[in-house]
Structure 1
Amino acid sequence: MYNCDVKRMDEKIKTFSTFGDAGHGGITRYSLSPEAHMARDYFVKRMEAIGATIETDDMANMYATLPGSEPGLKRIVMGSHADSVRNGGNYDGILGVIGAMEVLEAIAAENIPHRHPVTAMIWTNEEGSLYPPAMMSSGVVCYDYLPEDIAKKFKKENMLASKSVLDKTTTFGDALNASPYKGDEKNRLNPNDYMAMFELHIEQGPILEDAGKDVGVVTCVLGMFNYRIRFFGQSDHAGTTPMHKRQDALYAAAQALCYLHEEIDKLGRPELVYTTGEIVCHPNVHTVIPDMIDFSIDVRHEDPKVLEQVLAIVKSLPNKEWARCKCEVEMAWQRDTVYFDKELVQYVKESADELGASNQYINSGAGHDAQFASYMIPTTMIFVPSKEGHSHCEPEYTPVESCTEGASVMLNAVLKADKK
């Protein structure tokens, strides 16, 4: 068994945290921004220092590869993303890049024998924070392998046209063309050249910490659906319209939201999660009764039968009375549970056990590039605990010792795959 180096890990974590430092303990590092390019420059510097070959593809995804001892074998790739949400933390995404770099550095420093080429990778624009949608580049690269209803959202020409949420003018294509890291389509991740993918990630939740476990052996990314629920009423003056004559869309929506919580909770599924995270109110004026409310509901669970039960509740809303307002529901997004490769999952489990890292099987409620890659090549993930479950925020934190342990598990799992 081999171990990664905590000092090298600490150095990388601290250095990457300076690229986009927001001044409050976290970062804002939008994809293809100057800060993101600084992170990429550092990636290149460290990888070239150990003799890795650097390649980039047409979506600016980056690949740093150490050759194996047997020419012609497919590569084993590890990676994640270097971009962040606004005022995000120093671990989400980038830990997977740091861990991949550390595996290559450990192999080079200790002359660890390996047959296959081993690659560390950076995916472009996983968060979609500046240029929506999330997981943009993995969606484009894996386009031909994705289910049709998902793939249609990731046509390359549509992704290139995605506009900045800040200036509403600059497109992702503009930023890509200006990037020194835009490369050739022939360098893309593909099943002809790659045999397996691993992604190290912070859990982004409290399960591992609550259980006192060091490592999460990830089995799947949860199935989910996202629906829009809209209520239509009548705008009238807030000071002159009697209460019994109102068609208040916000009141109707509030009733429906409470109903959803009550009915979904009756299913008795503690592992089921659901969220309303976006609300649109029209006309959004304090002296006017709202005539339209549009809100989201995001529901996630592994079992499609449970999702069907929740969806039946959601779809029942238009058939009920809501403060004299009309209700409509519309699907925005859905996906089935994506299961990771059983053999790779077993390699992770065995590696954690052999290293003495306490572990448990766990699913991912969040989406990752690995879930799209898994449609194309055998793929799996490794989780390490997030302090107090925090993620996508500046308090996000995982001790360097935990980060290093996760990288060590990945290193040994990669070596097991290398022997195949």
Structure 2
Amino acid sequence: MYRCSLEKMSDKIRTFSKFGDAGHGGITRYSLSDEAKQAREYYTEKMKKIGATIEMDDFANMYATLPGSDPNAKRIVMASHVDSVKNGGNYDGILGVISAMEVLETVVAEKIPHKHPLTAMIWTNEEGSLYPPAMMCSGVVCNEYLPEGIAKNFKEENMLASKSVLDRTTTFGEALEKSGYKGAKENRLSPDKYEAMFELHIEQGPILENAGLDVGVVTCVLGMFNTRVKFYGQAAHAGTFPMEYRQDALYAAAQAICYLHEEIDKLGHPELVYTTGEIVAHPCVHTVIPDYVDFSIDVRHEDPEVLKKVYQIVRGLDGPELAKCRCEVVDQWNRDTVYFDKKLVGYVKQAAEELGSKHQYINSGAGHDAQFAAYVLPTTMIFASSEKGLSHCEPEHTSDEVCTESASVLLNAVLKCDME
């Protein structure tokens, strides 16, 4: 068994944390920004130093590849992203890139024999923080393999036209052209050139830490659905309109949210998660009764039958009035549970066992580029435990030791795949 270097992992974690340093422990590193370009430049410098060949595809996804002993063998790729959310942490996404780089560096330093070419890859715009949607470029590259209901949301022309959330003017396509990282379409990830894909990521939840474990052997990305619940009332003056006559859309929405929590919890599925993360109120003036409120409901679980039951509860709000306000439920999008390749999952499990890593099977409630890649070629993921389960925020942290342990699991799982 081989192990990655704690010293080298620590150095890369510290170095990448400078690119987009927000000044209080985290980073803001939007895709194709100057900060993201700094991260790409450092990746390129380190990978060229060990003799890797650098390629870019037409959506600025980057591929650093070490040749293998078999010239006819397909590549094994380790992929993640360097972009972040606003005021995010130093591990989400980037740990997967760091670990992939460390795997290649260890293979060279230890002169580890391998027949397949090994690739450390950067996916562009996974977060979608500046140019929505999330997982944009994996959605484009994998588009022809995705279910139609998902593929339609990632049409190439629409992604290129996506506008910056900051200036509402600059498009992703314009940023791509100016980035200096736009390459050739023939360099895209594809099943004719690639054997398998691994993605290492922080867990972004508390399950591993609470169990006293370091490494997650990921089996799937959970299925989910997202809807909007809209209430239509009547605006009126906050001080002069009697309570008994009001059609308060916000009050109706509050009742609906409480109802959903009560009814969904009655189903008794502890692994089921659901969230109202966005509420829009109109006119949003403190002296006016709201006449329109629109809130989101995001629901995730592995079992499609459980999702169907929750969906029926949500759809039950459609039509009837609450607090004298009409309700409308509008479907946004959904996805099926994406199961990872059993053979690759087995390699990760074996690697963790042989290294003596504290680990367990786990699923992913969050979306990742790997879930789209799984439709294209055998794919799996590895999780590193997250302290306090925190992610997408500046306190996000995973110890250097756990990061290195997870990278070592990645290294040995890849080598098992290479020996196939």
TM range (shorter): over 0.9
Q: Are 1:103 and 2:103 counterparts?
A: yes
- 1:79 maps to 79
Residue 92 of structure 1 aligns to which amino acid in structure 2?
D
- 1:174 maps to 174
Is this contact kept in 1: 2:204–2:390, CA < 8 A? yes
- 1:354 maps to 354
- 1:407 maps to 407
- 2:62 maps to 62
- 1:262 maps to 262
Residue 84 of structure 1 aligns to which amino acid in structure 2?
S
Is this contact kept in 1: 2:320–2:326, CA < 8 A? no
Cα distance, 1:319 vs structure 2: 4.5
Classify the secondary structure of the residue corresponding to 1:264: helix
Matching of residues 6-405 of structure 1 within 5 Å: 6-405=6-405
- Provide the aligned C-alpha RMSD in A: 0.5
| Cα-to-partner distance string for 1:367-405 (whole Å, 9 max, x where unaligned) | 000000000000000001000000000000000110001
Gaps of 5+ in 1: none
Query: Structure 1: how far apart are the matches of 2:126 and 2:319?
Result: 38
Q: After the TM superposition, list the runs of 4 or more consecutive aligned residues in structure 1 that deviate by more than 6 angstroms.
A: none
Is this contact kept in 1: 2:247–2:291, CA < 8 A? yes
Classify the secondary structure of the residue corresponding to 1:318: coil
Classify the secondary structure of the residue corresponding to 2:352: helix
Query: Structure 2: how far apart are the matches of 1:330 and 1:419?
Result: 49
Query: Structure 2: how far apart are the matches of 1:27 and 1:92?
Result: 10
Classify the secondary structure of the residue corresponding to 2:318: helix
Residue 396 of structure 1 aligns to which amino acid in structure 2?
E
Classify the secondary structure of the residue corresponding to 1:317: coil
| Cα-to-partner distance string for 1:8-32 (whole Å, 9 max, x where unaligned) | 1001000000000000100000000
Query: Structure 2: how far apart are the matches of 1:45 and 1:242?
Result: 69
Residue 263 of structure 1 aligns to which amino acid in structure 2?
E
Residue 211 of structure 1 aligns to which amino acid in structure 2?
A
Residue 371 of structure 1 aligns to which amino acid in structure 2?
Q
Normalising by the residue count of structure 1, what TM-score does the alignment of the two structures yield?
1.00
Query: Structure 2: how far apart are the matches of 1:125 and 1:214?
Result: 28
Gaps of 5+ in 2: none
| Cα-to-partner distance string for 1:280-317 (whole Å, 9 max, x where unaligned) | 10111111110100000000000001001100100001
Cα distance, 1:321 vs structure 2: 3.4
Cα distance, 1:149 vs structure 2: 0.4
Query: Structure 1: how far apart are the matches of 2:358 and 2:346?
Result: 15
Residue 302 of structure 1 aligns to which amino acid in structure 2?
E
| Cα-to-partner distance string for 1:27-64 (whole Å, 9 max, x where unaligned) | 00000000000000000000000000000000000000
Q: Percent identity, aligned pairs only?
A: 74
Cα distance, 1:207 vs structure 2: 0.2
Query: Structure 2: how far apart are the matches of 1:95 and 1:336?
Result: 27
Query: Structure 2: how far apart are the matches of 1:7 and 1:187?
Result: 33
Query: Structure 1: how far apart are the matches of 2:255 and 2:179?
Result: 49
Query: Structure 2: how far apart are the matches of 1:325 and 1:370?
Result: 42
* CA separation of 1:301 and 1:8: change in aligned 2, threshold 3 A: same
| Cα-to-partner distance string for 1:220-259 (whole Å, 9 max, x where unaligned) | 0000000000000011111111101000000000000000
Is this contact kept in 1: 2:319–2:326, CA < 8 A? no
Cα distance, 1:351 vs structure 2: 0.2
Query: Structure 1: how far apart are the matches of 2:138 and 2:83?
Result: 14
Residue 313 of structure 1 aligns to which amino acid in structure 2?
I
Is this contact kept in 1: 2:89–2:392, CA < 8 A? yes
